[in-house]
Structure 1
Amino acid sequence: MKKFYVIFTIFYLLYAGAIAVYLLQLEPGYVPEMYKGTASDPAQFMTAGEIKEAYHLQLIEYFTYFLSTPLDLLILILIMAFSVKIRNKAINIAKKSRWQLAYYYTVLTIAMTLLYLPLDLFFYHLNLRYELSSQSFLSWSIDFAIGFALELVLGFLFLLFLYWLIAKQPKKWWLTMAFLSLSFNILILFLAPVVFMPLFNDYQPIQNQELKAEIQELAKESGIPNAKILEMNMSKQSNGINAFVTGIGSNKMIVLGDTAIENMTTEEIKFVIAHEIGHYKLNHIYNSLILAFILSFLFGYGTYKIYHVPLKNSGIIGAWKNKLILQRCRCFSCRSSSLQCLFHRL
């Protein structure tokens, strides 16, 4: 395993070097000849210093973007290496399966959070450095803690249900899970605007009545006349300008950041809102739900097949499987033999 990490690190550094060389070839403020002097040319509305700052920020964002995927893979491999140890510790600490699962998931989530924390802090300070945010560290920490708590609670409840489902339907759990995950995603989409989003920001009816009337007319023309129109204190986290459409059913709403209201004209705001409404008109939300269902189906079925691959009763693998078959399972969802236990197959 150590040899693998050494090889992976060498290739990762070479990959990072190649990305850096490529990005450094980019020209600051480059604009195709046909767009120079037009409204698309940054030189028309930015100073030379601002263009240089934007170029530096762009380099950093591109660099971290291209490095993130192999980094995610490395972190996943690291976590997998410690997964069995965490599981064994959970079995020794707790007798009941639900507490074993709680310990395992909590430790795993904390480990993942700590591994990604330096990157989160980097982007927090990066946004401050380039004045994309003025959020205090205390406020950022509170938002971070709320997000972590939500991930911990919702993730644990999902896993608790999943392992109960595996125990009840050892051969069809993956199919049931796919349909239930679709229902769960719809529920989250419905509840997010009224339950989860208010944990991070304050929402209120838009105060500018003239602007509200303009947006209502635009929404009516677009086929969502009953959408709520709210403004949020986006300036709490960001100096950026944004608006979005969220929710489904009776919780469908158009949300406008206070930074947009303060810094954009009515026509500019309508342009941004029209873009967001376009996501609804083109059914992007429902398409995403369908895609999530398909991925859940494939992932569940693939997991089921992987853990039910027949192994020959010979050699090390055969002995390993025989040991699992004969061993009484004490962990998480299983009630009989470890044939139904995913964790004993890791």
Structure 2
Amino acid sequence: MRKLFWGIFIIYLLYAVSISTYLFTVNTPLPEHYVGTEADPLTFMDEEQYQLSSQFSKWRNVIYFINLPFEWLIYLFVLLFGLSQFFARWSERVIRYRFLQTTLYVILLSTFSWIVTFPINYFSYTLSKKYGISIQAFQSWMKDQLITFWVEAVILTIVAYVIMHIISKWPKKWWLYTWLLSIPFTLFLMFIQPVVIDPLYHEFYQIKDKELEQEILLLAKEADIPADRVYEVNMADKTNALNAYVTGIGSNLRIVLWDTTLERLNKEEVLFVMAHEMGHYDLNHLPLLLIGMIAASFVGLYVTSKFYSLIINNFGKRLKIKPDNIAALPIILLILSLLSFVVSPVSNAISRVYEYQSDRYAIDLTNDPDAAVATFHKLSVEGLSDVNPPTIVKIFRYTHPPMVERITHIREYSKTIE
């Protein structure tokens, strides 16, 4: 089994070298009909900014395509070298109660994974600082890393305990009962995220600019969005990037603006950003994504159960793992991670469609395509975005349309409503 791991590891190294070479050397020329237009990055970036955005994007893409399969290697390593089994046995020896055994196992597994992936995460952090995107102090970054560790550990402990308990009771239908329980659990997490989880990282408050707030409230009234769901978040001590997003469900659903966005965009541009986020709310994108996620999890858990049974039946004895043993958790995590990667092109494509819809909604609401284009220019410059990425990057990484396409789409749509 260890020879199997080293064979896979060699394949991974060959893949890492190949994908890195490709991403660092590939050039995606701007189509001729975009050259010289406002979608051409050289019309709103100077030469230095353009070169920096190209370099930074290449590094980020390489990190993504190397880091994801590295996660799969970690799961294989702890299984094939007996580390997962050791964590499980030790947890059972030192603690009597099953839930606490699961808790200790998850902490041990998560700690091992955190230590192994720390160099990549730290490199990503230093890269963002080098290119001027992140301005976050190391102590603050480490604090966020530790918060993430414990939040994920708590969630994974609950999920792992429930899944293993269900497998012990219903070994053939565990995927179905897990799926049924995942629906209220997912809704609960989405409900508490804006008021419990997000404040662990950032400070949220009402928008300070009262004049701008009134303008936003007028837009919110047109979109039938309760005013108390529009928030500003303190990001200026962590990043130079700009952003806004919609989060939460039910009474906790809210639109959030980064303070960097409010500082560096003018009033018309901020109103376009707000209108875009209101579009996500008014067009029911969050409920639609939630429904899609629930449907995908139904299929995903069913497929996971089939592969899980196949692996346990063929390799369980050699790995010294039983189906309901917590030591088998990395198998489930590995399968789910692989499935998530496989379906990511579809979920990303759907997300890009929703972004186009929200852009059109914002134009209908503000009737200001110039502000939209100026916003996209500033977002690209401040975030050093690759406005015309390679196809493979767009497919697997872009939940938003590339800026070249987004700017062109805005102009074409605005002409149809003039």
What range describes the TM-score normalised by the shorter chain of this pair? 0.7 to 0.9
Contact 2:190–2:249 (CA<8 Å) still a contact in 1?
yes
The verdict on how the C-alpha distance between 1:296 and 1:37 changes in structure 2, with shifts beyond 3 A counting, is closer
User: Deviation digits for residues 214-237 of structure 1, max 9, x if unmatched?
Assistant: 222222323324452211101132
- Give the match for residue 9 of structure 1: 9
- Give the match for residue 328 of structure 1: none
SS in 1 for 2:132: coil
The verdict on how the C-alpha distance between 1:205 and 1:341 changes in structure 2, with shifts beyond 3 A counting, is same
Structure 2 Cα separation of the partners of residues 308 and 25 of structure 1: 42
Deviation (angstroms), 1:211: 1.5
The verdict on how the C-alpha distance between 1:34 and 1:11 changes in structure 2, with shifts beyond 3 A counting, is same
Contact 1:219–1:227 (CA<8 Å) still a contact in 2?
no
Structure 2 Cα separation of the partners of residues 103 and 119 of structure 1: 25
Which amino acid is the alignment partner of residue 120 of structure 1?
N
Q: 5+ residue gaps in structure 1? A: 325-330, 332-337
Q: Following superposition of structure 1 onto structure 2, how do residues 76-155 of structure 1 map, counting pairs within 5 Å?
A: 76-81=75-80, 82-155=83-156
User: Deviation digits for residues 76-101 of structure 1, max 9, x if unmatched?
Assistant: 21132222222222233333323322
Deviation (angstroms), 1:254: 1.5
Mapped pair 1:36 → 2:19: no
- Give the match for residue 327 of structure 1: none
Deviation (angstroms), 1:344: 7.7
Which amino acid is the alignment partner of residue 341 of structure 1?
D
Structure 1 Cα separation of the partners of residues 271 and 64 of structure 2: 31
Deviation (angstroms), 1:134: 0.7
Which amino acid is the alignment partner of residue 19 of structure 1?
I
Structure 2 Cα separation of the partners of residues 263 and 297 of structure 1: 43
TM, length-normalised to structure 1 = 0.82
Contact 1:205–1:231 (CA<8 Å) still a contact in 2?
yes
Deviation (angstroms), 1:73: 2.1
Contact 1:243–1:255 (CA<8 Å) still a contact in 2?
yes
Mapped pair 1:51 → 2:50: yes
- Give the match for residue 74 of structure 2: 75
User: Deviation digits for residues 282-301 of structure 1, max 9, x if unmatched?
Assistant: 43322332233234334444
Q: Following superposition of structure 1 onto structure 2, how do residues 161-310 of structure 1 map, counting pairs within 5 Å?
A: 161-167=162-168, 172-226=173-227, 228-302=229-303, 304=305
Which amino acid is the alignment partner of residue 11 of structure 2?
F
Deviation (angstroms), 1:164: 4.1
User: Which deviates further from its counterpart, 160-169 or 190-199?
Assistant: 160-169
Which amino acid is the alignment partner of residue 13 of structure 2?
L
Deviation (angstroms), 1:53: 1.4
Alpha-carbon RMSD across the aligned residues, in angstroms, is 3.1
Structure label with greater radius of gyration? 1
Contact 1:260–1:269 (CA<8 Å) still a contact in 2?
yes
Structure 2 Cα separation of the partners of residues 304 and 79 of structure 1: 20
Deviation (angstroms), 1:3: 3.1
Deviation (angstroms), 1:55: 1.4
Deviation (angstroms), 1:272: 2.0
Deviation (angstroms), 1:195: 1.1
Contact 2:5–2:76 (CA<8 Å) still a contact in 1?
no
Structure 2 Cα separation of the partners of residues 265 and 152 of structure 1: 41
SS in 2 for 1:234: coil
- Give the match for residue 159 of structure 1: 160
Structure 1 Cα separation of the partners of residues 19 and 304 of structure 2: 34
The verdict on how the C-alpha distance between 1:308 and 1:61 changes in structure 2, with shifts beyond 3 A counting, is closer
Structure 2 Cα separation of the partners of residues 119 and 42 of structure 1: 30
SS in 1 for 2:290: helix
Which amino acid is the alignment partner of residue 222 of structure 1?
A
- Give the match for residue 396 of structure 2: none
Which amino acid is the alignment partner of residue 324 of structure 2?
C
The verdict on how the C-alpha distance between 1:220 and 1:79 changes in structure 2, with shifts beyond 3 A counting, is farther
SS in 2 for 1:186: helix
Contact 1:212–1:229 (CA<8 Å) still a contact in 2?
no
Structure 2 Cα separation of the partners of residues 342 and 305 of structure 1: 17
Structure 1 Cα separation of the partners of residues 113 and 77 of structure 2: 10
Which amino acid is the alignment partner of residue 143 of structure 2?
I
The verdict on how the C-alpha distance between 1:10 and 1:154 changes in structure 2, with shifts beyond 3 A counting, is closer
User: Deviation digits for residues 32-74 of structure 1, max 9, x if unmatched?
Assistant: 3222222222222322222211111111112222223332222
User: Which deviates further from its counterpart, 10-19 or 99-108?
Assistant: 10-19
Structure 1 Cα separation of the partners of residues 38 and 156 of structure 2: 47
Structure 2 Cα separation of the partners of residues 262 and 227 of structure 1: 21
TM, length-normalised to structure 2 = 0.69
User: Deviation digits for residues 221-257 of structure 1, max 9, x if unmatched?
Assistant: 2332445221110113211011112222221211111
User: Deviation digits for residues 190-217 of structure 1, max 9, x if unmatched?
Assistant: 1111111111111111111222122222
Contact 1:109–1:152 (CA<8 Å) still a contact in 2?
yes
SS in 2 for 1:224: coil
